[in-house]
Amino acid sequence: MLKRIVHLFFAVIGIVLGYQFAPELFSWIQLDTNPFSHPIFGAVLGGSLFILATSWVVDYVVSLIKWFEEKLLKTPFSDVLAGAFGMVAGLIIAYLMAPAIALIPVVGSVVQFFASVLLGYMGFRFFFSKREDFMNFFAGRFGREKDKDKKGEEKLRPGDAKILDTSVIIDGRIADIVKTGFLDGVLIIPSFVLEELQHIADSSDVLKRNRGRRGLDILNKIQKELKIKVQVLEIDFDDIQEVDSKLVRLAKNIGGKVVTNDFNLNKVCELQGVLVLNINDLANAVKPVVLPGEEIHVQVIKDGKEYNQGVGYLDDGTMIVVEGGREFIGTRLEVLVTSVLQTSAGRMIFAKPKMLERAL
């Protein structure tokens, strides 16, 4: 079909040229009295000659059009929209400048042509390179203008959207946090996160499959049991492969906050200027403060890495290393805190049995 359209294009060009110039050509070679010098005959002759002359070009033109179509389909709509808007803006500026440029003697038309091409290209490049700012501006503009719907209910505003990543869904603590009311607004679950979660749930590895199914159960619980708005956003970014990068792009586009417990994603969001809510940071912040010299009760459950050490855990998961606690494995005893160590993995408490302190 495309090839026929290209053939028809060249045929129309030949017909128009033949109809326009064939009579003059026949007149120049003194055949103006010949019946073949009629414009209709010139149009048929021009169309036929043009089809034959351009038959070798058609395949190249069709290939070029298909290549351009593939590139256009792979390009995100926001990029196409920003580039087209910039090119139109540049051409409008060139049109407004046309009367002044036309006053230039001799080369005015040439300058006008190149000015149109140059301004159109500059507008395209400028808006394409600033496409994220361009989309964010209009998203924020429309968000402010349509802050309330017809019934007076508030719509989604920048900062209201809490975008969940795969790790925080599988972790499961997000459901308890939402239940307590510490998270407001709307929970956004992008379709690409849901696809990744489903892919994990269908994994052949038993551990991954269980984690994926747990994540789907957590989402189902949040949607059905908790009083918070959950929205599955059908969106994807074909030019980005990594899910983390897609989350950052989405958060920028809608002005949302990324909810995660992934350390690397946390750092990427900070570098990109995206607000992030880290569940691990929240858990560390609400852990009870333990100071050296305090007395606490702990269940020693296993031996430590060093000689004669025992290891126990508080209710919030904080590890307690008990010096000389190996002989107390399986028992609950009162210990005296000697020091507290804060690491990137969390907080560790070092202690010793209080009965040993009394003996000393």
In a domain, 145, yes or no: no
In a domain, 24, yes or no: yes
Average pLDDT taken over every residue of the chain:
78
Reading the block at residue 220, the tokens are 């189902």
pTM greater than 0.75 (yes/no): no
Residue burial 168-205, b: 16+ Cβ < 10 Å; e: rest: bbbbeebbebbeeeebeebbbbbebbbebbeebbeeee
Q: Which residue has the tokens 């607004």?
A: 185
* Across 283-296, average pLDDT: 80
* Across 12-29, average pLDDT: 68
In a domain, 175, yes or no: yes
> What DSSP state is assigned to residue 327?
G
In a domain, 152, yes or no: no
Q: Are residues 201 and 268 in the same domain?
A: yes
- In one-letter notation, the amino acid at residue 298 is V
In a domain, 70, yes or no: yes
Write the CATH number for 309: 2.40.50
Q: Are residues 250 and 332 in the same domain?
A: no
In a domain, 14, yes or no: yes
Q: Are residues 269 and 301 in the same domain?
A: no
| pLDDT given for residue 39 in this prediction | 64
- If you average pLDDT over each of 2-11, 89-98, 141-150, which comes out highest? 89-98
Beta bridge partners of 278: 260
| pLDDT given for residue 66 in this prediction | 81
Q: Are residues 11 and 107 in the same domain?
A: yes
Is the Cα torsion angle 311, 314, 320, 324 positive or negative in sign?
negative
* Residue 152's pLDDT band (cuts 50, 70, 90): very low
Q: Are residues 13 and 100 in the same domain?
A: yes
In a domain, 54, yes or no: yes
In a domain, 48, yes or no: yes
- Nearest partner of 257 among 193, 148, 146, 165, judged by Cα: 165
Q: Are residues 65 and 174 in the same domain?
A: no
CB distance 336 to 354 below 8 Å: yes
Least confident of 55-59, 143-147, 200-204, 306-310: 143-147
Q: pLDDT tens across 174-189, in order?
A: 888 888 888 878 888 8
- Range of 228's domain? 161-284
Q: Are residues 341 and 237 in the same domain?
A: no
Q: pLDDT tens across 217-263, in order?
A: 888 888 887 878 888 888 888 778 888 888 888 888 888 888 988 88
CA–CA gap between residue 51 and residue 321 (Å, rounded): 88
* Across 156-184, average pLDDT: 81
Write the CATH number for 279: 3.40.50.1010
Q: Are residues 12 and 102 in the same domain?
A: yes
CB distance 200 to 212 below 8 Å: yes
Please tell me the total count of domains within the chain.
Answer: 3
Domain finish residue from 105, 129, 153: 129
| pLDDT given for residue 28 in this prediction | 61
Reading the block at residue 277, the tokens are 């809510």
* Across 290-309, average pLDDT: 87
Domain finish residue from 129, 152, 174: 129
